[in-house]
Amino acid sequence: MTELPTNKAPSIIRRSSPLKLIAENLTIDRGGRRVFQDLSFTLESGTALVVTGANGIGKSSLLRTLAGLVSLAGGAMHVEGGEDDRPLAEYAHYFGHQNAVKPALTALENLVFWQSFIASVRIDAFAGAAVPPEEALATLGIGHTAQLPAGYLSAGQTRRLALARLLVTPRPVWLMDEPTSALDTASEAQLLGLMNDHLGSGGMIVTATHTELALSNTRVLHLRAAEPVRTLTEELDA
Amino acid sequence: MSSWGVALFNRDLRLSVRIGGSALVGVLFFLAVVTVIPFGVGPDLNLLARIGPAILWIGALLATLLGLDRLFQADREDGTLDLMLMAGRPLELVVLIKCLAHWVATGLPLVVAAPLLGIFLNLDPVAMGAVTLTLLVGTPALTLIGAIGAALTVSLRRGGLLLAVLVIPLAIPVLIFGVSAADAAIHDPVPFLTPFLILTALSLIAAVVGPVAAAMALRFSAD
C-alpha cells in the first residue's frame, strides 16, 4: 500500500510531542464509485506531501477528504500532538480552486472577515503567527488594492487575496489544490517562499499539483489507477 | 461566539445591502402583491378591510421566499461554505446568525412597509398596528423555516421553486396564527393574546429547529 515512515515510540508527554498528521486506510466513495481504498500516510511537522497523479485519479477528492468536506467510507485521520478533540479539518486551511472572495466587499473586508471567522490554532509544536490583514496584503503585493471592491481585482490578484487568508489565521495544516493556478512566475516564487516559511515554522502542507514545487522537505504521494497496488509513496529529499 | 458572530452578521448585512438592494426588491414585490389584490377583488372597501391582514401576511410570506434561495447558495458557489464548515465554529450558530442578518435585511423592511400598505387595503389604525406587530413576531419564523429549504436546495441550480414548494407547507401554521392574531385584534370577542403567543412560540421553535435542520443539510451538501 504505502511506505510508512519509521514508527517512533509514542511519546509520553502528548503536549510537547511534535505535530503529526496521520491518515489510516482512507477509503472514499463519490457518486457511487470508489475513488481510492486503504490509503495510509503519516506526515510530520515541517514536511510537505505532494500528491501527483493523472486527472480524475482522486487528488482533489483526497484533499477535500482531509478537509472534512467529503465523508469517509472507511478509515480514520487525525492530528497527533495537538488538542485531542479537534478534528483534522479544524487544524487545516483549505486552499482550493474556489477563492471564497466576495466581489462586493473590499479586499481588506474580505480578509478581516476570514481572520475573525476562522478559529486559529495555537499549539506549542507550531510556531506560525497571525499576520495583520494589511500586512498580509502588502506581503502578497496587493496592498494598494485593500480598499478596492474585490470584484475589480484580476484573477491573479483574487488568487493572492485568497492566499492571504492562510496568513492571517495560523493553522498548521495547509491543504492546497493546484496552488499555482492563475499565478504568474513572480507570485509563484513568492508562494513557494510562503510555503517554505510555513514548513519552517513547523507546519505541514498537502498539495495536489502538476508543476514542480521547490519545497524544502517534500514527500511525494503518487496516485495510480492500477488495481493490485493502487498507491505508492516514495521519499524525495529536495 | 462574540467577535466572529458579529463579523459574520456584519458581513452578511453588508453583502445584502450592497448587492442589488435585496431589501428594496423584497419591499417592491410586497407592494406589487398587495396592490394587485384590490384590482382583483374589486372596490368593496369592507371586504378589503376584512381580508386585509390575510393579504398582508401572504404578501410577506411570498416576499420572504423570494430572497431565500440565495441564503446559502451564494456562499456555496464561491467556496465560502466549504471554509465555513472547516472554520471550527458551531454551524448551527452560523446558520442562526446568517438568518438573523437575512431577516434584518429583508424581513424587517417588510414589517416597516406593512402599515403603509395597510392604507391601500382600507385597514383602520388598530388593524394596521396588529398586523405590523404580528409580522414583526412572525416573519423571523418564516426566514428560519425557509433556511431549512434553502439548505436542502443549496446544491440545485434552480432551487428557488423547489424551495417554495418545500417551505410553504411548513409556513402554514405561522400564517394561520399570524392572521388569526391580527383578526382577533380587530374583532372584539376573540382574545388577541392566545394566537399571538402561539405565533411567538412558533418563532422560538423555528429558531431552534431551523438552524439545527439547516446545519445538518449543509453538512451533507459539501460532498
Q: Is the pLDDT of residue A234 over 50?
A: no
The number of distinct structural domains making up chain B is: 1
Q: Is the pLDDT of residue A227 over 70?
A: no
ipTM given for this complex? 0.86
- Owning domain of residue B8: 2-221
User: Which residues of chain B neighbour A79 with C-beta distances below 8 Å?
Assistant: none
Q: How many CB atoms lie within 10 A of CB B215?
A: 20
* CATH number of the domain to which A142 belongs: 3.40.50.300
Q: Give the pLDDT mean for A102-118.
A: 92
User: Which residues of chain B neighbour A64 with C-beta distances below 8 Å?
Assistant: 82
Which of A82-91, A171-180, A205-214, A223-232 tops mean pLDDT? Answer: A171-180
Closest C-alpha among B192, B191, B193, B198 to residue B177: B198
Burial letters for B162-198: b for 16+ Cβ neighbours within 10 Å, e otherwise? ebbebbbebbebbbebbbbbbbbbbeeeeebeebbeb
User: Which residues of chain B neighbour A90 with C-beta distances below 8 Å?
Assistant: 86-88
Q: What pLDDT does A17 receive?
A: 67
Name the residue type at position A103. P
Task: Give the pairing type, strands A20-30 and A33-44.
Answer: antiparallel
Specify if A14 maps to a domain. no
Q: How many CB atoms lie within 10 A of CB A9?
A: 5
Task: Give the pairing type, strands A48-53 and A218-223.
Answer: parallel
CA distance A237 to chain B (A): 31
Using one digit for the tens of pLDDT, what is the confidence trace for B3-51? 899 999 999 999 988 876 667 888 999 999 998 988 888 888 888 888 8
Q: What pLDDT does A226 receive?
A: 54
Specify if A1 maps to a domain. no
Residue % of chain A over a pLDDT of 90: 30
Specify if A40 maps to a domain. yes
Q: Is the pLDDT of residue A1 over 50?
A: no
Which one of A71, A77, A113 makes the best mutation probe of the B interface by having the most chain B beta carbons within 10 Å? Answer: A113
Q: Is the pLDDT of residue A219 over 80?
A: yes
- Owning domain of residue A31: 20-235
Task: Give the pairing type, strands A173-177 and A218-223.
Answer: unpaired
Q: How many CB atoms lie within 10 A of CB A145?
A: 20
CA distance B30 to chain A (A): 26
User: By the 8 A CB rule, do A199 and A124 touch?
Assistant: no
Which of A137-141, B193-197, B204-208 tops mean pLDDT? Answer: B204-208
Specify if A184 maps to a domain. yes
The number of distinct structural domains making up chain A is: 1
Q: What pLDDT does A218 receive?
A: 84
The single residue listed with the C-alpha cell 495555537 is A122
CA distances from B42 to A219, B22, B119, B128 (A): 77, 31, 16, 21
What are the residue ranges of helices labelled H in chain B?
Answer: 2-18, 22-41, 45-68, 70-77, 80-86, 91-102, 108-120, 125-152, 160-186, 193-221
Using one digit for the tens of pLDDT, what is the confidence trace for A166-195? 999 999 999 999 888 888 888 888 999 999
Say which residues have a Cβ less than 8 Å from residue B30's Cβ, sequence separation at least 6: B59, B60, B62, B63, B110, B113, B117
Beta bridge partners, A231, equal: A223
Q: What pLDDT does B178 receive?
A: 94
Using one digit for the tens of pLDDT, what is the confidence trace for A69-97? 888 888 888 888 877 778 888 889 999 88
Size of the A and B interface in Cβ pairs below 8 Å = 76
Q: What pLDDT does A33 receive?
A: 83
Is residue A221 very low, low, confident or very high in pLDDT (cuts 50, 70, 90)? confident
Closest C-alpha among B62, B73, B60, B63 to residue B15: B73
What does the mean pLDDT of chain B come to?
Answer: 90
Specify if A66 maps to a domain. yes
Q: Is the pLDDT of residue B180 over 60?
A: yes
Q: Is the pLDDT of residue A228 over 50?
A: no
